[in-house]
Structure 1
Amino acid sequence: MIDVISKNWFVLCTKPRNELKVKERLTSIGIEAYTPTRIEVRQWSDRKKKILVPLLPSMVLVSLLEKQVDQVFEVPGVVRYLFEHGKRAKVSNQEVLAMQRYLENTYQATQKELEVGDTVKVPLLEQEATLLSIKGKKCLAQLQKIGALVSFQLQ
């Protein structure tokens, strides 16, 4: 009988503001890595500039076999794995795919009567989140499992 060895997504902690560099370095040594990002306009005194900002501060998601988990420490900027209940925190493949699809598209929430502090299910991600603010039709919520901030619009 052949054992099917599957890769797991793990959460890596990085040095501050090193997420994109670590992702690039991991990819260059053959490790599948994902860092969700968004484009933000930052203003300085003399100019405005669009920059790529990671959604998960100091975190990179990596897809590895259990026996490969030590390879990531060859990359400068990697600090440690994120642990949950004494074990390396794992993220399901469906959650990673849902996050990618969510960032590629804008989704509409169907709930109308929301208040700050309510727990809502974020569309497409199918994750519970705590509502942080409501401004008109725009809502900002924090995912309960990994702490990422997501925004969506009410219909």
Structure 2
Amino acid sequence: MEEGKKVQKKWYALYTKPRWEKKVTTVLERKGVEVWCPLQKIQKQWSDRKKIVEEPLFKSYVFVHILEGEKTNVLMTDGILNFVYYLGKPAIIRDEEVEVIQKYLSEKDASISIQSLGSLDENTRIKVNHGVFMDTTGTVVKGGKKKVYVKLESLEQVMIVEFPIDYLTPL
């Protein structure tokens, strides 16, 4: 290793078996791995009752904060299919992206829906000038007056966050 270069933990996205996000999180925590499975509260309706449940924000994804050398140990966890790849390498998620999602999910009544990046057309680039997402840039997709698609490009996912149009400034 070169002098002056620090070994730093990085955030990576893992692809899990369907509906295994919480199980994988528990197993990785037992292994001593720093893992994060973003959850949001959703109201479910059954024929006889309504219930608030916590569901993973990103279906079949969990995030780990690990060193390069810990990848093999993490991959050997039951329920993990692989790292999420971007440009031929395991996708590194920027700390800022993780912090923005964590901050938003900590707000009362936070609601985020997720769509695959491949299903959207890119249009107007914008900058958010108010709230938790202040100074974040994103792409508006026409169709809703209040919806802003903030790209998490390293995940090839898009976060759809709803807030007033006057929070936005075109770039």
* TM-score range relative to shorter protein: 0.7 to 0.9
* Cα displacement string for residues 60-81 of structure 1 (whole angstroms, at most 9, x for unaligned residues): 1101111110111332110001
Letter of the 1:141 partner, please give it: Y
Question: Residue 32 of structure 1 is aligned with which of 31, 34, 45?
Answer: 34
Alpha-carbon offset, residue 31 of structure 1: 0.4
CA distance in 1 between partners of 2:70 and 2:78 (Å) = 17
> Structure 1 residues 123-132 or 145-154, which shifts more?
123-132
Alignment of 1:124-135 (within 5 A): 124=134, 126-131=136-141, 134=144
TM-score for the superposition, normalised by structure 2: 0.72
State the partner residue of 2:162. 152
Task: Give structure 1 stretches of 5+ with no counterpart.
Answer: 108-115
Specify the SS of the correspondent of 2:42: strand
Specify the SS of the correspondent of 2:47: coil
Q: What percentage of residue pairs aligned between the two structures are identical?
A: 29
| Alignment: residue pair count | 145
Residues 3 and 117 of structure 1, relative CA distance in 2, 3 Å threshold: closer
Residues 20 and 8 of structure 1, relative CA distance in 2, 3 Å threshold: same
| 2:67 is aligned with 1:65 | yes
8 Å Cα contact 1:133-1:141 kept in structure 2: no
Residues 117 and 44 of structure 1, relative CA distance in 2, 3 Å threshold: farther
| 2:18 is aligned with 1:16 | yes
CA distance in 1 between partners of 2:70 and 2:10 (Å) = 11
CA distance in 2 between partners of 1:98 and 1:125 (Å) = 11
Alpha-carbon offset, residue 127 of structure 1: 4.7
Once superposed, what is the RMSD of the aligned Cα atoms?
A: 2.7
State the partner residue of 2:147. 139
State the partner residue of 2:96. 94
Letter of the 2:17 partner, please give it: K
